[in-house]
Amino acid sequence: MDAIGSYLPHYDCGTIILNVKAQKRWRVAYVAIRSYRVLLSLSKQNVVRQKESSATLLRPHFAVEIQPAISYHHNDVDIPKPHSPYHDLPDIDPTKLTEMVKERDEASFRRFGGVEGVAAFLQVNPQHGILGNEDDICRRRDKFGSNTYPKPPPKGLLYFVKDAFKDTTILILLACAALSLGFGIKEHGPSEGWYEGGSIFVAVFLVISVSALSNLRQERQFDKLSKISNNIKVDVARDGRRQKISIFDIVVGDVVFLNIGDQIPADGLFLEGHSMQVDESSMTGESDHVEVDRERNPFLFSGSKVADGYARMLVTSVGMNTAWGQMMTSISRDTNERTPLQARLDKLTSSIGKVGLAVAFLVLVVLLIRYFIGETKDEYGHKEYNGSKTEINAILNSVVNIVAAAVTIIVVAIPEGLPLAVTLTLAYSMKRMMADQAMVRKLSACETMGSATIICTDKTGTLTLNQMKVTKFWLGQDDMGEIPSNSISPCILELFRQGVGLNTTGSVYRPASGDVFEFSGSPTEKAILSWAVHELGMDVERLKQTYSILHVETFNSEKKRSGVSIRKNADKTIHVHWKGAAEMVLQMCSNYYETNGTMKSMDEDARNQFEKIIQGMAASSLRCIALAYKQISEVNEDGETNKKLNENELTLLGIVGLKDPCRSGVKKAVEICKSAGVEIKMITGDNVFTAKAIAAECGILGPNDSEHKGAVVEGVEFRNYTQEERMEKVNKIRVMARSSPFDKLLMVQCLKQKGEVVAVTGDGTNDAPALKEADIGLSMGIQGTEVAKESSDIVILDDNFTSVATVLRWGRCVYNNIQKFIQFQLTVNVAALVINFVAAVSAGEVPLTAVQMLWVNLIMDTLGALALATDRPTNELMQRAPVGRTEPLITNIMWRNLLAQALYQIAVLLTLQFKGEKIFNVGEKVNDTLIFNTFVLCQVFNEFNARKLEKQNVFQGIHKNKLFLGIIGLTIVLQVVMVEFLKKFADTENLSRQQWALCIAIAAVSWPIGWIVKFIPVSDKPFLGYLNRAGQALGRILHRTRLSFSSLGGGSGKR
């Protein structure tokens, strides 16, 4: 323990004796013990040095560099800075500290000597934190563990391969392949008989492998994004400096700064703070907030949230040594989250699958009947079935091939590529959105954002830069812009320094070398602290030594002000200081100071004058902050009467105006959203005049809006409307000023009741209800609290409204990409089903073999999804109206496009099936290859058509999508290989150049068809709606007919 003394600051005993009366008893004891240990440690070090110097003659020597203690000077006050050589941490079982906090063991806590004893034991300076160098952190991590916990192992490739084998159709195909392989080898021998069955095996495994690899890639992408979202930044003190580090880098002994809305990153003890209340519901399930203080309940638990107040905590347990870590180990991320769009696609897939199953069953029945009645012939023209003369093996082989063909129809008919396409486009969009400063926390938000009709946005940091600077200062009724601070009365200056330096959650740090100050805290706090230090000569360290803080009321968006009561150590006088929204603080004041220090009573004229000053500053887009104070008397020594700060008859010290410029791209982003049919509403806690000025500057308020009554309201006005009035006026509101989180929630509820799809931005803890209530909650990554982030669907990493507009573009892009793929895949489904059914019924055979149809399935499912689901957003997406909640997934435009292409493909392929041999004078094998090749090339050309649902020019921007061009090229190369080099595998014949040109020419006709059909106008009423109405009308006719017949029957009975 002697080593600890050398680490702690050195104290001047004379100073200690002079200030004993101003310190509490534990501080005197603490200082005395530490001073004694310092002296003892120095004497021991001298003895050690003497021994080492005599021993150097007897052994090889080494040098130890001992640096002098470093201190830094701040306005002639010498403040020691911690320095220590490295010492081993005390040998103790870490579980003792863990159990003490976990069990709230006050007896063990007292045995350690309270929080100071624990800090000394962990070799931590409570003010400056740990040394924080690499060696110190490594020793602590080795001794107490890291702030991480083991996660369940990620899903590997084998998992997704196994998952693919759960598909019933795949299992049936594999069974058919096995039987076909057995019969083929038995009939034709191993060298020739394996082709058909083996080909099906290879094709099935190819489909499974591509699907599994694709799913694995998306799983890894989601895991990567999950790690990023869990990487919370935390403020700690290390080596006397406040800095942000990752939550995973926290070690035992760290001193952590906690504010409202923060997640507590590890288990620990309360060092110091005020009004600290913690929400432990994530751990205990209890919704009541727990008060935390130094004496009665100093225990803080990982995973809890700070509900009120601020504090510094000492970390005692990390990672798996915390209850939260043990709980999180058993929790794995739910990757099976189904988005609304995926749920709709599941229904669509099920419906199409049922149709495919019905067609496959009919084909199976027809082919079996034709086979057993002798209608089918082999390649030599002989009947395949001759009754009892046919061998049982030949019968079984033929039946297996028929079943395989029917099952392959099901495989092609069921659009299992739809879920894959959604997963691909969501994963791709999430990755790109990360690059565009938006981190998706909930998959459903990607697609829901595309349907947003209203965005309710904050002002500060979202529309503005959040780079505050004090540009105006009024003392009394005088503008102090050009007046130097030394002309202000010293007593007034001292009051200002108190009100700024002690009523703050920010901090000031001055490095040992250099005169540059570092400010931390919110942008508003940093701006006011910077102004007070540079303009008013404020010395925070001197203030902290001169005054003691008695009670604090932290700022929140309800009160819009913060307060503190302080006691001067020298004469025990107590001052209450308030700082906050200017017009609200002004209402609490009955006096004000002039520049010369004279206090004047605030009559009605003076109050009106101050209101005009505030309005003038606000109209210049300035945030107005007022400072006020009151001197009070203390009733008892503990200051219990000061728990509730005095809010009446204050004296106004002054008003400062902070400029926060608008972001450069905000006006354009607002215009883009408006052109996309999305209305922007600004909800801010700022003054109504500041709000109007910023809204006009950003383009949210137009010239006509500012004149229109009801476009700008205050939160209290909106709150006091009746429900009917709110519902009537909510759509007209463009700006809501001086709003509380409850007002924001109220507006979201009203808009949702009116059928709007609402996106809301928020950064505070109190914004959580509105973020949860909204269809899409958008939290701020920089200024947002952890509570706000957890309540949101998407985190805007740069707090910029332009990124909100980008999220809107991506939301629409996701929906549009899915629609493109649906159109492409349904074209193949319709064409394949009709062709196979007609050919089976009329000719008794299907034109495409099982392997060929599996190849088509691979093209349209996996490769098609990759090609069409990864298009980037275009400007044209932001020129359409939002997609409604109930709008059908398959629009009339899509029906028009896919039916035109499907009918063309059906006509061409059936012509080739029945007349191809005569028209082109080719044999059956070559004709079948022509059919297969033409069908595949039709899909390749149709992929281009699917890129644009409405525009004639399907090649616009194609050079930007390298993946699309790559997949098209790969598909064509693989098709050439299938036809020309894998003849036995694919059951094809070589084609001449003229035949290839013929196939390409037939397939290329789909381009002009796609161009022409887009001129055909379509109704806004859903296509399927007509069928539903026709069905309902038919039902009504049948119902009336039945009634009329029953009435006739009843009448005849009576007669």
Q: Which residues are catalytic?
A: 458
Phi-psi region of 546 (alpha: psi -120 to 50; beta: other; left: phi over 0): alpha
C-alpha span between 319 and 302 (Å, rounded):
9
CA dist 811 → 445, 751, 778, 889, 949 (Å): 8, 20, 13, 15, 17
- Other residues' Cβ atoms within 10 Å of the Cβ of residue 711: 19
C-alpha span between 105 and 122 (Å, rounded):
18
Cα angle vertex 1011, ends 1010, 1013, to 5°?
65
Of 659, 326, 211, the closest CA to residue 473 belongs to 659
C-alpha span between 420 and 275 (Å, rounded):
51
Of 788, 880, 877, the closest CA to residue 458 belongs to 788
Helix, strand, or coil (residue 530): helix
Residue with tokens 């495409």: 848
Using H for helix, E for strand and C for coil, what is the string for 310-352? EEEEEEEECHHHCHHHHHHHCCCCCCCCCCHHHHHHHHHHHHH
Which tokens in the block code for residue 460? 């500060």
Using H for helix, E for strand and C for coil, what is the string for 368-419? HHHHHCCCCECCCCCECCCHHHCCHHHHHHHHHHHHHHHHHHHHHHCCCHHH
Residue 136: phi and psi, rounded to 5, are -65, -45
C-alpha span between 785 and 166 (Å, rounded):
43
C-alpha span between 823 and 943 (Å, rounded):
10
Which tokens in the block code for residue 496? 């200002």
Per DSSP, the residues of 992-1048 read -HHHHHHHHHHHHTHHHHHHHHTTS---SS-HHHHHHHHHHHHHHHHHHHHHHHHHH
Report the relative pairing of strands 241-246 and 233-238 from DSSP bridges.
antiparallel
C-alpha span between 304 and 313 (Å, rounded):
13
C-alpha span between 94 and 546 (Å, rounded):
39
Of 842, 874, 1040, the closest CA to residue 961 belongs to 874
Using H for helix, E for strand and C for coil, what is the string for 734-749? CEEECCCHHHHHHHHH
C-alpha span between 881 and 467 (Å, rounded):
35
Which tokens in the block code for residue 778? 């958008």
Residue with tokens 């019924």: 841
Q: Which residues are paired to 571 by β-bridges?
A: none
Chain centre distance of CA 529: 33
| Identity of residue 54 | S
- Other residues' Cβ atoms within 10 Å of the Cβ of residue 445: 25
**Inter-residue contact 812 to 873 (CB < 8 Å):** yes
C-alpha span between 493 and 653 (Å, rounded):
9
Q: At what angle do helices 417-435 and 801-843 cross, to 10 degrees?
A: 160
CA dist 379 → 55, 137, 384 (Å): 103, 79, 10
CA dist 294 → 110, 202, 300, 426 (Å): 12, 70, 11, 48
